Amino acid sequence: MNCLIVDDEPQARKLLTTYVSSIPGCRIAGACRNAMEAYEALQTGKTDLLFLDIKMPVISGTDFLRSLKNPPLVIFTTAYDKYAMEGYELNVVDYLLKPVAMPRLLQAVDKAWERFKEKAFTVPPPPPDYTFVKQDNKLVKIMFHDIRFVEGMQNYIKIHLTDSVMIVSSTMKAFEKVLPPSQFIRVHRSYIAAVSYITAIRNSQVEMPGMELPIGISYKDDLFKSLGNE
């Protein structure tokens, strides 16, 4: 596990760094003096386990943890046991009192390993197979498999479905970000095609049932790469 240590006390930081680095499977990703340094470290590197002091200047450890959208596993370290309940409310792995004793640290790291393995083997939920678009002051659900192609019209787009056409206030660039890249390909500045509906490519045209779409010169290479014909 990549471990990040955050403590404003130099001696506590040094001791914890020494202890953690001696534990098999633990690698020190960094040692920070405050929450701002920790935030930067979390943005620039991979951290699996955060050793976080609670009582720090400017931003406390608990406030810092609350500010993180997707925090790593956390073990609180502090000289004050009055923060224990707050730590458990934040679903931290463990709570260590200073000065940290090696046997107690090993227990905490063992708990972290259990959670780390659980996270590693947790299957992420499948991505959604639909999106919602605004139509007549309401949101309408569109299944991706019903979209044949999308046509750009300045600040509007036409979504050509299997049985209808919807005009939506959006740009091609914005709507392209919503579509799963494994199912859709930009073939022209004004067209996005559903791969499953493409039947052939001929003479700079994408053939679909009852329809042909032009292939833009700047999109041709990416199209062939996506279809496995580089």
Q: Quick one: CATH architecture of 130-226?
A: Beta Barrel (2.40)
Given CA atoms 136, 140, 146, 147 in this order, what sign does their dihedral have? positive
Domain boundaries, the chain: 2-120, 130-226
Cβ contacts of residue 175 below 8 Å, gap of 6+? 150, 157, 159, 168, 192
For residue 5, the surrounding DSSP H or E stretch is: strand 2-6
**What is d(CA 107, CA 38) in angstroms, rounded to the nearest whole number?**
24
**165 vs 147: CA distance, rounded Å:** 9
Structure tokens at 132: 């919602």
Q: Which CATH superfamily is domain 2-120 in?
A: Response regulator (3.40.50.2300)
Burial (Cβ within 10 Å: 0-12, 13-18, ≥19) of residue 186: buried
163, 148 contact by CB (below 8 A): no
Tens digit of pLDDT at every position of the chain (230 positions): 999 999 999 999 999 999 999 999 999 999 999 999 999 999 888 999 999 999 998 899 999 999 998 899 999 998 877 766 666 678 899 999 989 999 999 999 999 999 999 887 777 778 889 999 988 888 999 999 999 999 999 889 999 999 999 999 999 999 999 999 999 999 999 999 999 999 999 889 999 999 999 999 999 888 888 876 65
Distance CA 135, CA 137 (A): 6
Positive or negative CA dihedral for 189, 190, 195, 198? negative
pLDDT of residue 78: 87
Give the global pTM.
Answer: 0.55
